[in-house]
Every structure is written in structure tokens, then in C-alpha cells.
Structure 1
Amino acid sequence: MRKVVFLDRDGVINIERGEYTFEIEDFKPVEGLFEALKVLKEKGFEFIVITNQGGISKGIYNHNDVINVHCCMQQWFKDANISLLDIYYCPHHSFVEKCICRKPDSLMLEKAIAKYNVNIEKSYFIGDSRRDELAGQKVGLKTIRVTANENLNNYINQIN
């Protein structure tokens, strides 16, 4: 079974700007991110991104915009020599429609846990909102809530 750190995207991986980030020129990594992930990789963790992308549902951007940004993110991981197992995103928004994948619901996590044979007891969800915590707790993950854009090095000692 795998040990996985699930990561929220906006505010954890890339800078949270206070508005939707869907263009590559606005997509910038959080300071210290890859140094922290390298330490976690040395501890035997792998990584999966879990992100709400409700701007699709609202018509602000589309799936191709998200895919382009995620290709950029995957390149960041590759350049840092860190494997990114997968990226799950929910295109829905509760203002427009109902779904069971949008955090704080847990369908994205459930799918990833099943697909990658994740050891829930040894895995974590790192996010910057209460809905991230709730989604992780619904499936039994340990959760860490960071302040948006905070350096993850402040938390790596909490992760075994």
C-alpha cells in the first residue's frame, strides 16, 4: 500500500491570488514547495493533487485551460524530480449545480485511494481551507491546514 500526501492546488502548490488561476502566466509556485516535497519523498510519500475548479461551471474558463495549467504543474514536479501520481479536479460549482466530487465531499479522494491502493492510516491531506480538511476527514486521512501560500517546510515535521 502507498503512503500519499494529497495536496490541494491553489494556495498550497501555486500562489492563491484571490481570484481564479487558469492562465499559465498567473500560475506561480508557492515558495519552498519543492524543498518540502523532496523531504516528504525521502520519507516514502507520493503525491496526488485534489482541486476544485468551479470556474469551469461558472463559464469563466474551460477544461483546456485547466489542462494547460496542470501540464505546467506536472513540469514543475518533473523538474524537481518528484513524481506526481495524478491530478483530480472537480469542474462543478455549488452556485450552478450539485455534485459529490467537489470538496468538502470526498469522491475525488475516494477514487484516488481506490485506484492507487492508498494506505489511509499513513497518508495526509494538505489544504488551505476548511473544505479541504472536511474532505480528508471524510475518508479517514490525517489533515493539515496551512495558511494560503505558506511554506510547507513549516509542517513537514508533522508528517511521518
Structure 2
Amino acid sequence: MAIIVLDRDGVINQHSDDHVRSADEWIPIPGSIEAMAQLSQAGHQLVIATNQSGLALGQFDLDDLEAMHEKMRALVEDAGGEIAAIFYCPHRDEDHCRCRKPNTGLLDAIEAEFDTSLHDCYMVGDRRKDLEAAAAKGCKPVLVKSGCGERTLQDLIHNPDPHLAATLVFEDLAQFASFAAESS
């Protein structure tokens, strides 16, 4: 069963520059929950890898984060899918941790937890740091234009990186799920 790594904010749920701080503020992007169910039903293990600096900044606490993730899990399960695991970095950029994307600490933890390699697995994000983490780990980087994706695409066009040249681009997670279903 192939793992697909998904960023959270801007890919699955609406992005907020002020941080998504509660389950009430956690609003799925139209079609994302159904896309996750489709990927899960096709035999993929869905693993979330998300930077959550709002914890370190005091924007929300661990109970709030757990409530957001419980809401996400419940919606995906109600749609007939399953989230295999959720990994998050609670640090700020200034903390210089190993787990904050574009570093690969979250991906290393996923590999350890599932006793597998993520090499050649899809990793879906809406920011350059998601794509850089994917490329550094040997994943297939996928950019969705939802969330910050449109800005990221413009950045990639104007500031190309040979490590990100093979990035696949989709309108949203739903379009990626259709592609992945056809490819498997």
C-alpha cells in the first residue's frame, strides 16, 4: 500500500495567514474530503505532514490541534476513507528544528513509524517548503493551486529550482486524486 503524504492547511482545509486556531475555523476545501476518501479507497495510506507553528506562538493549544485533527479524521471516515497518521511540527522557523518543513524530520518520522521508504511516494503541498522537503527525501513533489499554491507556482516560474523541475501541478486535491486513481 503506497503512502501519499499530504500537507494540511491549503491542501485539505482553507488556509489562513493568522493560523487555523480551532475546529470551528478548520474548514475543508470543497472536494478535499472526498478526494482523500477516493485515495484511501484506491489503496493508498494517507499521512498528513504539517507545520503548526501556531502552537509555539500560542495561537492555539494541543487540545485545539487534536480537535481539528479529530474533525478531519471524522469527515474522511464519514466519506469512506481513512487517515493512517498525522505528523506535525510544533516549532517556529526561528527554532531551527529538524521537523519543520522544508527539513525532512517529519518525513523521517513517517518512514520510521511505517518502517518504509518514502522514495517515489507522492507528497502534496501548496508551498515551496513542502515541495523542497519532498525533493530532499526523494518523494514526487505535487503542487496544488489551492491555499498558497497559486503564489507558489508563480514563485517557481520566476525562481526555478532544478530539484523541483519534476513537480506535478494540479488545481486542487480532487484533481490530484483523479490523476492518482488513473495512474494506479
Task: State TM-score, norm by structure 2.
Answer: 0.78
Q: Deviations over 1:96-132 (max 9, x none)?
A: x220000000111111122213453452100000000
Does the 8 Å CA contact 1:4/1:118 hold for their aligned counterparts?
Answer: no
Which residue type is aligned with residue 84 of structure 1?
I
Correspondence 1:102-117 to 2 at 5 A = 102-117=100-115
The aligned counterpart of 2:34 is 35
Does the 8 Å CA contact 2:52/2:88 hold for their aligned counterparts?
Answer: yes
Q: Percent sequence identity over matched residues?
A: 30
Does the 8 Å CA contact 1:31/1:151 hold for their aligned counterparts?
Answer: no
Correspondence 1:37-76 to 2 at 5 A = 37-76=36-75
- Distance in 1, matches of 2:117 and 2:32, equals 23
Out of 127, 130, 139, the residue aligned to residue 129 of structure 1 is: 127
- Distance in 1, matches of 2:81 and 2:178, equals 19
- Stretches of structure 1 that go unaligned for 5 or more consecutive residues are none
Which residue type is aligned with residue 156 of structure 1?
A
- Distance in 2, matches of 1:114 and 1:143, equals 20
What displacement does 1:42 show?
Answer: 4.0
The aligned counterpart of 1:89 is 88
Cα RMSD for the two superposed structures: 1.8
- Stretches of structure 2 that go unaligned for 5 or more consecutive residues are 148-170
What displacement does 1:46 show?
Answer: 1.1
- Distance in 1, matches of 2:37 and 2:68, equals 22
- Distance in 2, matches of 1:158 and 1:135, equals 22
The aligned counterpart of 1:120 is 118
Q: Deviations over 1:14-44 (max 9, x none)?
A: 1113320021111111111133223323432
Cα pair distance change 1:101/1:121, threshold 3 Å? closer
Which residue type is aligned with residue 109 of structure 2?
K
- Which structure has the higher relative contact order (CA within 8 Å, separation 6+)? 1
Does the 8 Å CA contact 1:3/1:122 hold for their aligned counterparts?
Answer: no
Does the 8 Å CA contact 2:51/2:90 hold for their aligned counterparts?
Answer: yes
Cα pair distance change 1:72/1:35, threshold 3 Å? closer
- Distance in 2, matches of 1:17 and 1:37, equals 21
Which residue type is aligned with residue 122 of structure 2?
Y
Does the 8 Å CA contact 1:5/1:47 hold for their aligned counterparts?
Answer: yes
